Structures are given as structure tokens and as C-alpha cells.
């Protein structure tokens, strides 16, 4: 396995809540294992991750796609220097990523930059 180019952090709100962490912990154990593999790959290659696994959405927000059968888990994140900050996660049920989820990610990243509230992977 290659050496990681990026460090992955999970955003925590000022009150200590980590929505993406809670979402990941609630996933089936096999889904968690696949998500962890993709986060490691993301740390190694960053934006070079193939589009079927992660891609740029807009406004500095990217998505990591963890697809298992009919489950379409999405983790939204942003880059800052050599950090990847995972802001939120959800089960995708529509064709497009909901604008509300992208907005949550943008606001969380702005808060992270202001406070530097994170949790190691």
C-alpha cells in the first residue's frame, strides 16, 4: 500500500458532534469495512481517486461514494492543504446530491477552518 499524501479528519461541531462518525458507526459492519478501505485510498491519492469512487461536486465540496448493492453511502468532504475534512454523510436516494447536504458541508468546513475542530480517522 502506498504512503498517504493526505490526512483524513472527521469534522466535529463546537458541541462535539461528529455526524459523519455517527453515520459510519451505524452502517453495517461490511459497509464500514469498505468505507474504511476507500478512505485509505482517498488519503493516498486524493483528487486522483477514480470518478466512480469520488468526485468534485461544487463549491469546494467533494463526495466519496461507498456503493454496496443498492446502498449508496455518500461522505462529503473538502480539502485544506494536505488535509481531507469529512463533514457529513448520508444515504443517497435521489439522482443528484441534495443541495442541502452540499450546504451542510460548506458550512461545516467554514466552521472547521474557523475553529479547527477535528477528529483523527
Classify 98 in phi/psi space as left (phi over 0), alpha (psi -120 to 50) or beta: beta
Q: What pLDDT, on the 0 to 100 scale, is given for residue 121? A: 42
Domains (range + CATH), the chain: 7-113 (3.30.2310.20)
Provide the 3-class DSSP secondary structure of residue 118.
strand
The three grid cell numbers given for residue 66, joined into one nine-digit string: 461507498
Average the pLDDT over 41-49 and give the result: 95
The three grid cell numbers given for residue 16, joined into one nine-digit string: 462535539
Instruction: List pLDDT tens digits, range 53-76.
Output: 999 999 999 999 999 888 899 999
Average the pLDDT over 76-102 and give the result: 94
**What is the Cα 103 distance to its own chain's centre?**
14
Reported pTM: 0.90
Q: What pLDDT, on the 0 to 100 scale, is given for residue 86? A: 97
**Residue 6: pLDDT band by 50, 70, 90 thresholds?**
very high
Q: What pLDDT, on the 0 to 100 scale, is given for residue 3? A: 82
Q: What pLDDT, on the 0 to 100 scale, is given for residue 1? A: 55
Amino acid at each position: 500500500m502506498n504512503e498517504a499524501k493526505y490526512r483524513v479528519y472527521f469534522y466535529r461541531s463546537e458541541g462535539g458532534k461528529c455526524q459523519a462518525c455517527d453515520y459510519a458507526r451505524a452502517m453495517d459492519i461490511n459497509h464500514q469495512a469498505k468505507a474504511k478501505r476507500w478512505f485509505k485510498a482517498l488519503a493516498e491519492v486524493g483528487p486522483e481517486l477514480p470518478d466512480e469512487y469520488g468526485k468534485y461536486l461544487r463549491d469546494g465540496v467533494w463526495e466519496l461514494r461507498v456503493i454496496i448493492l443498492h446502498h449508496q453511502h455518500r461522505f462529503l468532504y473538502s480539502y485544506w492543504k494536505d488535509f481531507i475534512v469529512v463533514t457529513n454523510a448520508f444515504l443517497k436516494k435521489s439522482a443528484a446530491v441534495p443541495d442541502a447536504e452540499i450546504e451542510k458541508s460548506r458550512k461545516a468546513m467554514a466552521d472547521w477552518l474557523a475553529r479547527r475542530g477535528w477528529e483523527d480517522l
